[in-house]
Amino acid sequence: MFDIFLTVKKGEAKKRIEELKELIRTHNHNYYVLNAPTISDFEYDILMNELIQLEKLFPQYITKDSPTQNVGSDLAVTGAGQGGFRQYRHEYPMLSLSNTYDLEELYAFDQRVKKVADSPFSYNCELKFDGTAICLTYKDGILFRALTRGDGTVGDDVTSNVMEIGSIPQKLKSGTSYPREFEIRGEIYMPYEAFDRLNRQRELDEDPPFANPRNAAAGSLKLLDSAAVKERGLESTLYHLIAPDLGVTTHSDALKAAAEWGLPVSEYAKECKGIEEVVEYITLWDEKRRSLPFATDGIVVKVNQLDLQKKLGFTAKSPRWATAYKFKPEEALTKLLSIDYQVGRTGAITPVANLEPVLLSGTMVKRASLHNSEQMELLDIHIGDYVYVEKGGEIIPKITRVEISKRSASAEKARFPACCPDCGTPLVKDPEEAKSFCPNSDGCPMQQKGKFLHFIGRKAMNINAGEATIEQLYTKGYIKRLSDIYSLTSNELSQLDKWKEKSVANFLNSVKQSKERPFSKVLFALGIKYIGETTANSLAYTFKSIENLMHASREELTETEDVGEKLADSIISYFSNPDNIKLIEELKAAGLKFSIDENSAMKLSDALDGRTFMITGIYTIPREEMKAYIEAHGGKVASSVSSKTDFLVAGEKSGEAKIKKAEKLGVEIISEEELYKMTSK
C-alpha cells in the first residue's frame, strides 16, 4: 500500500514491531474508547501498514495480541457492565475490513476473488459510512438488542440508546415476511449539520469539542442518559444482514428485503459487473461524496454472491469477500487573508487564520487554526499564501501546508507578535505548552472580558447575559473585578445601550439567582487554570469548602480524582495570590456558596438501599434531581433496563419500548408518585 524501505535487520525489526504495536494500541484506545484520536486515519493506516509489512517479513514476531490480529476495542472497561453498559457476546464475531488507498491493491483483491470463483460473479459497491458499527437483533419483528462492536467478540448493550434513533425501527413493517429472528449490522453516524450544532453547543459549554462526526457518533451512542441521545441527531444505515434461509442468493437482494421490512438501507449502493465498473463507482463518489450531508471515508467493495462469499471465508480479522478502498483525507486550497491573534481568558495567544471562504466536507470554511508560533514557523507561512486546509482534530480546520508555487514575490512572512495584541504587554512563552501568554492577567482587557464571560457561563454562575453585555459593562468601567457583578445597580444598568426596565430586572434577577449555585459551580466559575467542570465537581465534593481546598497540600490535591500535578500546582499558585483571596472574600460577602450544601449531599434515608432504578420520561422535577433524589435515599440509578433493574420509574411520555422491555424482564414499573411514597415510609 505505501512504499516503505524494508531493509530492516532482524533485531531492529523486533524492536520496531514492538514499538508499532504499542503505538497502535495507544491510538486504538484514543480512537475507540476515548473517541479523541490524536492522529488522522491516514497516519494511523500508515503505521498499521508498516506493522503488517514487517510481520510478513518476520512472521516469527507475530503475537496473538498484535493489533494486526485483532479489531480495535470500543469497550470502555472490560468486564460485564463496568463501563456503564451490560455486555453480551456476539452471536457471530464482528469483524473489520481490509483496506487500501491504492487501486493496484484493489485489482489484486479482484484477482484473489477470481481465483476462487468458478462461475460469473458481481460486486456490490457501497459507501463507507464514517460512524460507529452497530449490531441489531430483531425477534418477532421487534428490536430486541443493539450491541456495539466492542472487541469484536463482546459488545456493549446500547439498546435503550439505539431506541432513541429515529431511523431505526423498534418494530418492523407489519405484513412483511421477515425471519422470526435475525441480526443486521450497520453504522450509526452523525450528519455534518448535527455535528456542527453539537460542537457549537459544546464550545459554549466549555466542553471539549468532538474531533469529527465519527467520534461524536461513537461518544453519543455511549451516553448514559438515553434521553440525551435523542437530541444528538444520530442517523443509521444498515449493510449486513445475517439470517438463515432468507431465500435470496445475493447480498444486494438481502438488503432489498431488509428495506422492505422497514430497515434503513443505503440508497447509494450499486451492483457492479466487474472491477472496471467498481473503479468507475469509486471515481464518481470520490468527487460526489463532497456534497453528501454526512462523512464517508471510502467505498466498500463486496462480492455479491452469497455462495462465493462463503467459499472465500474470513481471515482472523476481516472477510476475504470484501475490502475497503479509502479516500485520502479531504483538503481544500484557499488564500490566507490575514491572521488574528486571539487572547484567551488565561492569557494564551492563539493565531487564527482568516481565509477566503472555501467548501470543505460539506461546510464553508472561513477560519483555520494555526495553533502556535512554532506551527507558523514550520509552515513558513506568508500573508497572501495559498494554503491547504483539512478537517483535523479540532472544531475549526487546520492548515496543513502551503502551496509555495503560488506565493507572490511580495508576500510578507507572518510574524507572531512579541507583545499582547490587546494590552501591549511583552508575551512570555510556556515551554511545556508551546504557547505564548500575556502575563498581564489583571490588566489585559481581553483576558478580563474572557474571565467575566466564563464566570457568567451556563455551566458556571449561569447569569443571563452575553458577550455584548460584558463588553458594555467592562467598557463603561462598571465591572473590573468578578465581584463587581454583584454590586451592579439598576441605575448603572439602565445606562446600557438598548436596555429597558425589563432587561434590567431580568438581569438583576438572574444575578440574584446565581447566588444559589452550588459550590462546585462557583469553583468552576473562578476560572482557575485547568479546573474544568468535572474537576470542579471532584474538588468540591472532596474538600467540601474553599478553606479546606485553600489549605490542601500538594499530596492531598493529587490524591483527588482527576487532579494531576499540573492542576495541583495551578491551585496552589492561585491561592498564593492575596488578590484572589480578597476576591473570594468579596464573593462570599455577596452571598455566593463556598462550601457544599451538606443537606443536598447528605443521605436523606436508606429507604431505597440496595435497589436499582431506571428513570425514563418527564417528571415534575428535572431528571438530574430525580437521580440525586433516588441516590440520596440510598438507591442506584442504572443507564438501561436489564434483569438487574428493580424498578422503572415511568414519567410522562415514557418510551414504549422501554416499558415493554421492563415488562418482559419482570421489572416493576412505578410512577413518580409511587417512588415518593416508597421514600416517605
- Catalytic residue positions, numbered: 128
Q: Closest CB to ligand IVH among 240 and 345?
A: 240
CB of 266 to ligand IVH, least distance (A): 7
How many chain residues interact with ligand IVH (CB under 6 A)?
A: 14
Distance CA 359, CA 335 (A): 13
CB of 57 to ligand IVH, least distance (A): 25
Q: Let me know: does 486 contact 585? Beta carbons within 8 Å.
A: no
Neighbours of 322 (CB within 10 A): 23
Phi, psi of 63 (to 5 degrees): -115, 160
Task: Return the residue matching grid coordinates 457583578.
Answer: 485
Which residue of this chain has its Cβ atom nearest to ligand IVH in the complex? 133
206 torsion bin: left (phi>0), alpha (psi -120 to 50), beta (else): left
Does position 389 interact with ligand IVH (CB under 6 A)? The reply is no
Residue 621, CA atoms < 13 Å, CB-side half-sphere? 13
Give how far Cα 675 sits from Cα of 627, 632, 666, 678, Å: 12, 13, 18, 5
Q: How far apart are the first and last CA of the chain?
A: 69
Contact window for ligand IVH (CB under 6 A) among 49-57, 127-135, 525-533, 666-674: 127-135
Single out the residue of 156, 187, 235, 385 in contact with ligand IVH (rule: CB under 6 A).
187
Taking the CA atoms of the chain, what radius of gyration do you get in angstroms? 29
Does position 300 interact with ligand IVH (CB under 6 A)? The reply is yes
Does position 218 interact with ligand IVH (CB under 6 A)? The reply is no
Does position 49 interact with ligand IVH (CB under 6 A)? The reply is no
Does position 95 interact with ligand IVH (CB under 6 A)? The reply is yes
- Find, among 440, 438, 434, the residue nearest to 418 by Cα: 438
H-helix segments, 382-497:
445-456, 467-475, 490-493
Q: Closest CB to ligand IVH among 50 and 187?
A: 187
Single out the residue of 126, 151, 385, 672 in contact with ligand IVH (rule: CB under 6 A).
126
CB of 299 to ligand IVH, least distance (A): 8
Exposed/middle/buried for 580, CB within 10 Å: 0-12, 13-18, 19+? middle
Distance CA 443, CA 155 (A): 53
Q: Let me know: does 604 contact 633? Beta carbons within 8 Å.
A: yes
Does position 235 interact with ligand IVH (CB under 6 A)? The reply is no
Does position 243 interact with ligand IVH (CB under 6 A)? The reply is no
Q: Closest CB to ligand IVH among 21 and 90?
A: 90
What letters, b where the CB count within 10 A reaches 16 and e where it falls short, cover 354-373? ebeebebbbeebeebbbbbb
Does position 543 interact with ligand IVH (CB under 6 A)? The reply is no
Q: Closest CB to ligand IVH among 126 and 183?
A: 126
Q: Let me know: does 193 contact 233? Beta carbons within 8 Å.
A: yes
Contact window for ligand IVH (CB under 6 A) among 255-263, 318-326, 370-378, 507-515: 318-326
Q: Closest CB to ligand IVH among 48 and 95?
A: 95
Q: Let me know: does 377 contact 397? Beta carbons within 8 Å.
A: no
Q: Closest CB to ligand IVH among 322 and 632?
A: 322
Does position 292 interact with ligand IVH (CB under 6 A)? The reply is no
Single out the residue of 179, 213, 319, 397 in contact with ligand IVH (rule: CB under 6 A).
319
Does position 129 interact with ligand IVH (CB under 6 A)? The reply is yes
DSSP category for residue 146: E
Cross-sheet strand order for the sheet of 647-650: 636-638, 612-616, 647-650, 668-670
Single out the residue of 31, 32, 178, 239 in contact with ligand IVH (rule: CB under 6 A).
239
Does position 324 interact with ligand IVH (CB under 6 A)? The reply is yes
Does position 125 interact with ligand IVH (CB under 6 A)? The reply is no
Contact window for ligand IVH (CB under 6 A) among 274-282, 319-327, 474-482, 548-556: 319-327
Does position 521 interact with ligand IVH (CB under 6 A)? The reply is no
Single out the residue of 27, 240, 289, 658 in contact with ligand IVH (rule: CB under 6 A).
240
Does position 135 interact with ligand IVH (CB under 6 A)? The reply is no
Q: Closest CB to ligand IVH among 298 and 397?
A: 298
Contact window for ligand IVH (CB under 6 A) among 7-15, 91-99, 112-120, 382-390: 91-99
Does position 263 interact with ligand IVH (CB under 6 A)? The reply is no
Does position 96 interact with ligand IVH (CB under 6 A)? The reply is yes
What letters, b where the CB count within 10 A reaches 16 and e where it falls short, cover 34-68? ebebebbbeebbebbbbbebbbeeeeebeeeebbb
Site track 146-185 with ligand IVH (rule: CB under 6 A), x = hit = ----------------------------------------
Distance CA 243, CA 183 (A): 6
Distance CA 511, CA 487 (A): 10
Q: Closest CB to ligand IVH among 240 and 371?
A: 240
Distance CA 255, CA 306 (A): 12
CB of 129 to ligand IVH, least distance (A): 4
CB of 113 to ligand IVH, least distance (A): 15
**Binding region for ligand IVH (CB under 6 A):** 95-97, 126, 128-129, 133, 187, 239-240, 300, 319, 322, 324
